[in-house]
């Protein structure tokens, strides 16, 4: 027979599990961007859709081709990572594919 403490513990676990799972964005995007350093790079963001990704990526820093970080100035192209999409720029695609994760 369940005691009140056990029941409250199960209810608390269920509530916290559903709250944390409901807030996680469903999509991961990688964007080919230009940066303050005038060197192209890649920036990553997890959000609900491509429109939000493009809006918020401009506030981030990118991993540049010279292996540094620099603030994003504009977006060239974004791909959705789980769809295994590829960048149209071959140099950026090679850089992206070989990035440690």
Q: Which two tokens stand for residue 43?
A: 């920036």
3-state class (DSSP) for residue 26: coil
pLDDT by position in tens, the chain (length 101):
556 554 455 455 554 544 445 577 789 999 999 999 999 999 999 999 999 999 999 999 999 999 999 999 999 999 999 998 999 999 999 999 999 87
Comparing CA positions, the residue from 72, 81, 7 lying closest to residue 34 is 72
17 half-sphere exposure, CB direction, 13 A CA radius: 6
């Amino acid at each position: 027979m369940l005691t009140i403490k056990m029941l409250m513990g199960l209810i608390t676990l269920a509530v916290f599990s559903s709250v944390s799972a409901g807030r996680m964005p469903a999509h991961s995007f990688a964007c080919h961007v230009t940066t303050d350093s005038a060197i192209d790079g890649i920036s990553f963001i997890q959000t609900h859709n491509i429109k939000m990704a493009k809006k918020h990526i401009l506030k981030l820093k990118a991993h540049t081709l010279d292996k540094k970080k620099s603030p994003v100035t504009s977006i060239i192209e974004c791909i959705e990572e789980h769809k295994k999409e590829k960048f149209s720029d071959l140099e950026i695609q090679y850089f992206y594919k070989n990035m440690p994760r």
